[in-house]
Each structure stands twice: as structure tokens, then as C-alpha cells.
């Protein structure tokens, strides 16, 4: 394999980062406006840095870039697996955040810890 071929192979391998959302703020329409998130080491499941507040648009950009964004629900809801965030596009082209998969009791946006304005 040539050096060029090796470089192309490395470039094509995507590095996926994982983020955990532990809190959200919903707007007046019930859409996610802000999140409290932290990057997580996929192997150790530990935070790489401290949790930071971010606009929903930053999360949408991360998802489009191939990053995995998981919802972390309060422990009072049991030990069921967390759900992934996905981007939903409305008919008008506006993008919003939603949780992947069917509805799950105790695992919906409203069950995440609320963050204040």
C-alpha cells in the first residue's frame, strides 16, 4: 500500500465522540432549547471534562457530525438503558432534538432534569 493509500484510509475512519446530556431546558413550544452535557469516555463511561451548558443548535451540529449524544436520566427511574438524541426536521425545515425510538415511561424529554434560564 502506498503512503497515499494509507493516508486516505486513516482519513476515512471517523472518530466518534460520545456526549451525555444530563439536563435540558424546553422552550415555550416544548422543544429543547438548551442542554447540560459533558463528553464521556466511551470505554470508562467517565466524563472527560465538566458538564457545560450548550444551545440545542450545538447538539444538532454534533449529531450531524456523527457524534453520539445520549440522554442520562435521574437514577430514580431505574437502570434501563439511556436513549440517544436524534435530529428531527419539521415540515418548515426547522430542526429540533428528539429522543430515538418509541416512547418509554420515565425516559422522555420531560423526565430529564430541568435546567433553569
In a domain, 6, yes or no: no
**Count of domains forming the chain:** 1
In a domain, 8, yes or no: no
Instruction: Look up the domain containing 27 and give its range.
Output: 15-114
The size of the chain, in residues, is 117
The structure's pTM equals: 0.81
pLDDT by 10s per residue, the chain, length 117: 444 443 444 444 466 899 999 999 999 999 999 999 999 988 887 788 889 999 999 999 999 999 999 999 887 666 555 799 999 999 999 999 999 999 888 889 999 999 987
d(C-alpha 45, C-alpha 9), whole Å: 28
In a domain, 20, yes or no: yes
In a domain, 27, yes or no: yes
In a domain, 2, yes or no: no
Amino acid at each position: 500500500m502506498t503512503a497515499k493509500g494509507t493516508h486516505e484510509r486513516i482519513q476515512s475512519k471517523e472518530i466518534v465522540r460520545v456526549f451525555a446530556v444530563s439536563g435540558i431546558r424546553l422552550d415555550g413550544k416544548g422543544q429543547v432549547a438548551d442542554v447540560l452535557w459533558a463528553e464521556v469516555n466511551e470505554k470508562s463511561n467517565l466524563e472527560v471534562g465538566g458538564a457545560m451548558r450548550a444551545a440545542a443548535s450545538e447538539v444538532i451540529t454534533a449529531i450531524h457530525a456523527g457524534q453520539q449524544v445520549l440522554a442520562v436520566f435521574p437514577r430514580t427511574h431505574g437502570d434501563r438503558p439511556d436513549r440517544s438524541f436524534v435530529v428531527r426536521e419539521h415540515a418548515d425545515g426547522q430542526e429540533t432534538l428528539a429522543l430515538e425510538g418509541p416512547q418509554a415511561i420515565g425516559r422522555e424529554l420531560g423526565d430529564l432534569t430541568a435546567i433553569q434560564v
